[in-house]
Amino acid sequence: MKKGGRQSLLCGDPPGIVLRDSADRPSYSVDDVRDRVVLGDTFEVLRKLPPESVDLVFIDPPYFLQLPKKRLLRWKVRTAVEAVSDEWDRFPSFEEYDAFCGRLLSEARRLMKPAATIWVIATYHSIFRLGKIMQDQGFWILNDVIWVKNNPMPNWLGVRFTNATETLIWASRDKDAKRHTFDKRLAKQFGVGKVGANVWNIPICTGEERLKRAGGGKLHSTQKPEELLRRVILTTTREGDLVLDPVAGTGTTGYVAWSLRRHFVMVEINPKYVAGIEERFARGRQARPGPASPIA
Ligand SMILES: C[S@@+](CC[C@H](N)C(=O)[O-])C[C@H]1O[C@@H](n2cnc3c(N)ncnc32)[C@H](O)[C@@H]1O
């Protein structure tokens, strides 16, 4: 480590919350990964974790938007339009996308405690496929929750409705799973009706909350709003629970879990995003000075 400076994520042992996966590491205990983001391929990492060890899973998988790179990504005045054109969102076919998500879901299922639940979020491009895969694997769907964005990206071409929603599927591990966590008192605050309805109005992530690249611009194209994760985590976990996000992006899940006094384990393959997560936590700790460990 450089004196007085921060160690680069790309050389040597990563500092702080980051744990770099390596091939010579055959397994991890929960203690090894608790409150860490593991830099590595999620399939390599998840298979090394012990079964029935997490209380909640949140998965925000690639969308597989299938956007042609040039035509849709530029508006006529050459303003870059927000869209997911990243390499990680590209799959050769639906079969390969389904195989990726199916594998991710079954690995996650193996790690869920019997009473654990899982949230999966996606747009219309893939949520129906994900729902079928989940049901085929034995998950039991408890709800779909519609996230209504009150500041959606417009449909620039004007050939269809502006898509202002994403869908979250909330499911238990098995049909017969009992005693999953659900805080109906809090759920009521987030929607209309006796227990709170499954429609959440939340703006997309902008402003200060949005992680930026060094030269400005967004670090990640699909960073989720903290308020969305706050609702998920508050209603379906208890303090001290362990929350898993196997495709963490900017680490919104772990960051919100930490701020709500839950534990987390995240996995992300891209070192740029992992560096962003590390900085996010460093800033969060400055804003909320206290114990070195997120949950003391
Ligand atoms: C939709 S984004 C998640 C965004 C995140 N929820 C947030 O709020 O920032 C999906 C992420 O999955 C990551 N990913 C894709 N394949 C992966 C793999 N095999 N292992 C780990 N991460 C992977 C991508 O790098 C991308 O950051």
Q: How confident is the model at residue 295 (pLDDT cuts 50, 70, 90)?
A: very low
**220 CB near ligand 1 (under 6 Å):** yes
Q: Please tell me the predicted confidence (pLDDT) of residue 246.
A: 98
Share of the chain above pLDDT 90, in %: 72
**237 CB near ligand 1 (under 6 Å):** no
Q: Please tell me the predicted confidence (pLDDT) of residue 292.
A: 42
Adjacency order of strands within the sheet including 140-148: 18-20, 36-39, 263-268, 242-245, 54-59, 112-122, 165-172, 140-148, 199-201
Q: Decide which of 71 and 107 is more confident.
A: 107
CATH class of this structure's domain 18-287: alpha beta
Which residue puts its alpha carbon closest to atom 4 of ligand 1?
249
Which residue puts its alpha carbon closest to atom 3 of ligand 1?
249
Å from CA of 39 to ligand 1 middle: 11
- The string of DSSP codes covering the chain is --TTSPPPTTSSS--TTEEE--TT-----HHHHTTEEEES-HHHHHTTSPSS-EEEEEE---------HHHHHB-TT-PBPP----GGG--SSHHHHHHHHHHHHHHHHHHEEEEEEEEEEE-TTTHHHHHHHHHHHT-EEEEEEEEE-SSPPP-TT-SS----EEEEEEEESSTT-------HHHHHHTSSTTTT-SEEE-PPS-GGGS-B-TTSSBS-TTPPPHHHHHHHHHHH--TT-EEEESS-TTTHHHHHHHHTT-EEEEEES-HHHHHHHHHHHHHHHHHS---SSS--
Å from CA of 77 to ligand 1 middle: 31
Q: How confident is the model at residue 84 (pLDDT cuts 50, 70, 90)?
A: low
Whether 21 has a pLDDT exceeding 60, the answer reads yes
Residues 117 and 233 sit within 8 Å (Cβ to Cβ): no
Whether 270 has a pLDDT exceeding 80, the answer reads yes
Q: How confident is the model at residue 68 (pLDDT cuts 50, 70, 90)?
A: low
**273 CB near ligand 1 (under 6 Å):** yes
Q: Please tell me the predicted confidence (pLDDT) of residue 15.
A: 46
Q: How confident is the model at residue 285 (pLDDT cuts 50, 70, 90)?
A: confident
Share of the chain above pLDDT 70, in %: 85
Q: Please tell me the predicted confidence (pLDDT) of residue 74.
A: 46
Taking only the tens place, the pLDDT of each residue in 148-194 is 998 888 777 888 899 999 999 999 999 999 899 999 999 999 877 78
**274 CB near ligand 1 (under 6 Å):** no
Mean pLDDT of 33-38: 97
**242 CB near ligand 1 (under 6 Å):** no
**276 CB near ligand 1 (under 6 Å):** no
**88 CB near ligand 1 (under 6 Å):** yes
Look over the chain and give the mean of its residue pLDDT values, rounded to a whole number.
Answer: 87
